[in-house]
Amino acid sequence: MDDLSRSFGRKRVSPEDRTRLIRSVFQRVAPRYDLMNDLMSMGVHRYWKWFMVREARQSGARNVLDLAGGTGDIAWKLADPERAVQVCDPSLAMMEVGRRRGPSGRIGWVAGCGERLPFHDETFDLVTIAFGIRNVTHLEDTLSEIRRVLRPGGRLLCLEFSRPAPWLAPFYDAWSRLVIPRLGAWISRNPDAYHYLIDSIRAFPDQETLAGIFRAAGFSDVSYRNLSFGIACVHRGTRPIPNAA
């Protein structure tokens, strides 16, 4: 993860500078973030998120942390009279967009980063993170924090870009290299930021490597499911129950 931590577009920066730059991007694009996702994925991100939300509902979790929850598009789909969702994101601007969608006593909003979650141990039944784990500065620290705030037996569902099937890779590479940075520059007025987006996707671990990182972080029952032939992937892990057979 060192190369990813230091890269931002064509520049080499420190992890701290990278964090500041990423937060600056989200500050700028917050009002148009959902539109940006629709344009860059041609709307397919809605299916990917629907798949993860369906699995989250099936888990039976009552107390959910949506980490890097941004505008709350996952939280609004999950929250109901039987389930409370806590959105945690470092961007106040992104969360403000989510709050404007209307009042909900079942959604909370807290500023925080993955490496230092502002919650007590064993607070949540489920942690979801959609297209956010790629932007943390220290992946292993974030996974350790997620494990800490999960109750024993609690689950992690992580939706993230991954490695597409070999036959699809050339087409996806052309789209990501030629189209996404231009769309990002048009929407955010910050072209360097969207070179970072593509660089971060390419530098992020593939499916098997990320599954191994989950296991090394202490998660059990680790598995994953490719979506759209591997362009995106849902990763799963469980905080083990002590002394479980």
For residue 98, the domain's CATH number is 3.40.50.150
In this structure, of 13-27, 75-89, 137-151, the range with the lowest mean pLDDT score is: 13-27
d(CA 87, CA 66): 5
Distance set, CA 163 to CA 105, 186, 195, 204 (Å): 38, 26, 18, 9
Residues 11-23, mean pLDDT to the nearest whole number: 62
**Which residues fall within 8 angstroms of residue 58, CB to CB, at 6 or more apart?**
none
**Which residues fall within 8 angstroms of residue 29, CB to CB, at 6 or more apart?**
36, 187, 188, 190
The helix/strand/coil state of 110 is strand
> In this model, does residue 158 exceed pLDDT 50?
yes
Residue-level length of the chain: 245
Average pLDDT, whole number, for the chain?
A: 85
Q: Is residue 243 one of the residues assigned to a domain?
A: no
d(CA 228, CA 211): 19
pLDDT of residue 3: 37
Specify the higher pLDDT residue, 23 or 213.
213
pLDDT of residue 8: 43
pLDDT of residue 180: 76
CA-based nearest residue to 160, from 191, 107, 205: 205
Which strand ranges, in their side-by-side order, compose the sheet holding 63-67? 107-111, 84-89, 63-67, 124-130, 150-161, 232-238, 220-227
Q: Is residue 90 one of the residues assigned to a domain?
A: yes
Q: Is residue 20 one of the residues assigned to a domain?
A: yes
d(CA 153, CA 194): 38
pLDDT of residue 31: 58
Write out the residue range of the structural domain in which residue 104 sits.
2-238
Specify the higher pLDDT residue, 101 or 220.
220
DSSP E strands: which ranges in 75-182? 84-89, 107-111, 124-130, 150-161
Reported as a single tens digit per residue, the pLDDT across 176-198 is 888 777 776 776 666 655 666 77
d(CA 154, CA 240): 8
Q: What percent of the chain has pLDDT over 70?
A: 78
Distance set, CA 68 to CA 86, 94, 160, 243 (Å): 10, 10, 12, 32
Residues 133-145, mean pLDDT to the nearest whole number: 94
The helix/strand/coil state of 157 is strand
Number of independent structural domains in the chain: 1
pLDDT of residue 237: 98
pLDDT of residue 4: 39
Pairing type for strands 107-111 and 84-89 reads parallel
Q: Is residue 122 one of the residues assigned to a domain?
A: yes
> In this model, does residue 6 exceed pLDDT 50?
no
Assess contact for 125 and 154: CB atoms under 8 A.
Answer: yes
Assign 161 a pLDDT band (cuts: 50, 70, 90). very high
Q: State which H helix or E strand residue 146 sits in.
A: helix 139-149
pTM for the model stands at 0.86
Q: Is residue 244 one of the residues assigned to a domain?
A: no
Q: Is residue 180 one of the residues assigned to a domain?
A: yes
Q: Is residue 245 one of the residues assigned to a domain?
A: no
pLDDT of residue 244: 56
Q: State which H helix or E strand residue 236 sits in.
A: strand 232-238
d(CA 112, CA 87): 9
Q: Is residue 38 one of the residues assigned to a domain?
A: yes
pLDDT of residue 192: 59
pLDDT of residue 42: 80
Neighbours of 229 (CB within 10 A): 14
pLDDT of residue 176: 81
pLDDT of residue 7: 42
